[in-house]
Amino acid sequence: MVTQIISDDEAMDKIMPGNPQVKKVEKVKKMKSGLVPKDDRRTVGEATVENPRMRCENIDVYYNDGEKKAINNISLDIGCNEVIAMIGPSGCGKSTFLRSLNRMNDTIEGCRVDGKILLDGKNIYDKQVDVVPLRAQVGMVFQKPNPFPKSIYDNVAYGPRIHGLVQNKAQSDELVETSLKRAGLWEEVKDRLDQPGTGLSGGQQQRLCIARTIAVGPEVILMDEPCSALDPIATAIIEDLIDELRQEYSIAIVTHSMQQASRVSQRTAYFHLGDLIEIGPTEQIFLNPLHQLTQDYITGRFG
Ligand X SMILES: Nc1ncnc2c1ncn2[C@@H]1O[C@H](COP(=O)(O)OP(=O)(O)OP(=O)(O)O)[C@@H](O)[C@H]1O
Helix pair 152-162, 169-182: axis angle to 10 deg: 120
The DSSP call for residue 110 is T
Stretch of 94-102, 177-185, 189-197, 277-285 lying at the interface with ligand X (CB under 6 A) = 94-102
Cβ-based neighbour number of residue 106 at 10 Å? 16
Q: How near is the Cβ of 104 to ligand X at its closest, in Å?
A: 11
The pairing of strands 52-63 and 68-79 is antiparallel
Site string for ligand X, 36-75 (x = CB under 6 A): ---------------------------xx---x-x-----
Site string for ligand X, 169-208 (x = CB under 6 A): ----------------------------------------
Q: Please, which residues have CB within 8 angstroms of residue 227's CB and are 6 or more apart in sequence?
A: 206, 234, 235, 238, 239, 255, 257, 260
Nearer residue to ligand X within complex by CB, 46 or 275: 275
Number of residues that bind ligand X (CB under 6 A): 13
Q: How near is the Cβ of 70 to ligand X at its closest, in Å?
A: 4
Per this entry, what is the length of the chain? Answer: 303
| 95, 102, 265, 268: which one binds ligand X (CB under 6 A) | 95
Q: How far is the first Cα of the chain from the last one, in angstroms, to the nearest whole number?
A: 19
Stretch of 83-91, 164-172, 206-214, 257-265 lying at the interface with ligand X (CB under 6 A) = 83-91
Please give the sequence-ordered ranges of beta strands (E in DSSP) within the chain, or none if there are none: 44-45, 52-63, 68-79, 83-87, 112-119, 122-123, 138-141, 220-224, 250-254, 267-272, 275-281
| 34, 45, 52, 93: which one binds ligand X (CB under 6 A) | 93
Rg of the Cα trace of the chain?
20
Stretch of 91-99, 129-137, 279-287, 289-297 lying at the interface with ligand X (CB under 6 A) = 91-99
Contact 71, 59 (CB under 8 A): yes
Q: How near is the Cβ of 257 to ligand X at its closest, in Å?
A: 11
Tell me which residues in 97-126 interact with ligand X (CB under 6 A): 108
Q: How near is the Cβ of 71 to ligand X at its closest, in Å?
A: 8
| 78, 92, 210, 252: which one binds ligand X (CB under 6 A) | 92
- Quote helix, strand, coil % in the chain, to nearest 5: 35, 25, 40
Q: How near is the Cβ of 200 to ligand X at its closest, in Å?
A: 25
| 3, 4, 51, 90: which one binds ligand X (CB under 6 A) | 90
| 17, 37, 91, 133: which one binds ligand X (CB under 6 A) | 91
3-class SS at 75? strand
Check binding of 302 to ligand X (CB under 6 A): no
Kindly give the residue spans of alpha helices, DSSP state H, lying in 183-257: 186-189, 202-215, 232-245
Residue numbers at the binding site for ligand X (CB under 6 A): 63-64, 68, 70, 88, 90-96, 108
